[in-house]
Chain A
């Protein structure tokens, strides 16, 4: 089957409103949004603290965070599997092969990206922003908020980057989600499955949706951060 033919069939599937296909999209969105809701505040806060606080071991922590950017998602999945399996330390929670487990995995994958990039963003902030805020009588959290607002474009880039990594991530989702139809089957694991079965149209349809979702989310972010200063 050629690429064109597969794409045409894919578009037909999409517009026919195939419930299974859209169910897969819903799983992807739901898991990734939840993961980003948890990871974003944590990651940005950690990046802010790393950028502004001086404490022993800070440099080591920064290097480790940047190193974790390269962690293969399937290794994150493997470690989580061993922890969440009924055999594992957290087996009692019975989280393996649930969406919650996938959320945890995606949080862990998103965090290094968020921390490393927001750290870099905050470090590159104009130091006068901080001084001005202090001069205007701001304290603690208010200073942080001012600086983050100042570098919000770079921080948003970090969020977009993390979103892109987790929404397209397959290794971890497959390992701890189990690719269960209608429950933990998300877009990337479904694409892998359909491709393995030779259902290329279904794979391409899901690929198109994934790209559209990523585009839509980035438009939403663009709206959220507002226009660049005029």
Chain B
């Protein structure tokens, strides 16, 4: 039993040593940004945020979720700012007193992607509603995000405009997953999907999917940034949120967004450039 006790002490010493190696660094200023997966997964924030952090001495912690959940987190006061893409929901968020100082930052567009064989013969179509109608009529499968993200909300509004009950239809696959996963799934199933351009660009090589429709004005995808209302949650880091909004819409921020071109392709466009 003595040997056992000795080992106890030895193990405890090792454990303490291990823990002391992991002491957390405490930075005074932390900004919590709830955002969509597209801005984070595309690599945009990794390029933008370090520049902001250097200028303002404030660490940005990114929580990348769907637009619906990002707004919910901010509504509960669990984030200081949101960067999302659903203008209607953003306006409602501000109107309901959850957020202030909403600013348009950048935009890109949604695209319709599908297999090379294009079983619904969508290619050449210019109107996204007609294209979706063709897909629904052909019975070719369509993979949907189904996660209440900005992309999901865009898709739902398109089906609604068509008065097609897509949800529950045998050809409509509601995945409940992020954009990258849905594109992987669509590639495996040789199905169609609605995607933001940035995520598609990042996964194109792997999925083998092609753009079957782009350029419809309905597919405009604007991103907005909002600070959480400090009157509702006095503890939020409002000054840092305002600094981030200011920087994103400043010349330096705009230049950084324009300069972000993974693989040579610009994926986000500054709103004021339109």
Write the residues of chain A forming the contact surface with B, with a CB cutoff of 8 angstroms.
Answer: 1, 26, 29-30, 33-34, 37, 85-87, 91, 94, 96-97, 99, 149, 152, 178-181, 183, 195-198, 220, 223-224, 226
Contact = CB atoms under 8 A, between A and B. Distances in A.
Interface in B209-225: none
Nearest to A220: B11
A224 B7 contact: yes
Contacts of B32: 97
B235 interface: yes
Given A87-B77, A97-B78, A197-B41, A34 B19 contact: yes
Given A223-B7, A226-B4, 7 more contacts: A29-B18, A37-B15, A85-B77, A196-B177, A196-B178, A196-B180, A197-B203
Given A180-B62, A180-B63, A226-B4, A198 B206 contact: yes
B238 to A, nearest CB: 14
Query: Top 7 nearest A-B pairs by Cβ distance?
Result: A86-B77, A30-B22, A178-B63, A87-B76, A180-B61, A85-B76, A196-B181
Interface in B165-192: 177-178, 180-181, 184
A17 B4 CA distance: 36
Contacts of B247: none
A179 B64 contact: yes
A149 B4 CA distance: 9
Contact of A33 (B15, B77, B203, B207): B15
B8 interface: yes
A149 B1 contact: yes
A223 to B, nearest CB: 7
Main secondary structure of the interface of B (DSSP, over half): helix
Nearest to B24: A99
Nearest to A87: B76
B133 to A, nearest CB: 30
Contacts of B41: 196-197
Contacts of A224: 7-8, 11
Nearest to A177: B63
Given A85-B78, A94-B235, A223-B7, A33 B18 contact: yes
A86 B14 CA distance: 37
B3 interface: yes
28 contacts: A1-B206, A26-B22, A29-B18, A29-B22, A33-B18, A37-B15, A37-B19, A85-B76, A86-B233, A87-B77, A87-B78, A96-B78, A97-B63, A149-B4, A178-B61, A179-B64, A180-B63, A196-B37, A196-B41, A196-B178, A196-B180, A197-B41, A198-B180, A198-B184, A198-B206, A198-B207, A223-B7, A223-B11
B202 interface: yes
Contacts of A85: 76-78
A26 B23 CA distance: 10
B163 to A, nearest CB: 33
Given A1-B206, A85-B78, A180-B61, A226 B15 contact: no
Interface in B29-80: 32, 37, 41, 61-64, 76-78
A179 B7 CA distance: 36
Contacts of A37: 15, 19
A33 B207 CA distance: 39
Contacts of A198: 180, 184, 202-203, 206-207
Nearest to B77: A86
Contacts of A220: 11, 14
Contacts of B15: 33, 37
Contacts of A34: 19
Given A85-B78, A197-B180, A97 B19 contact: no
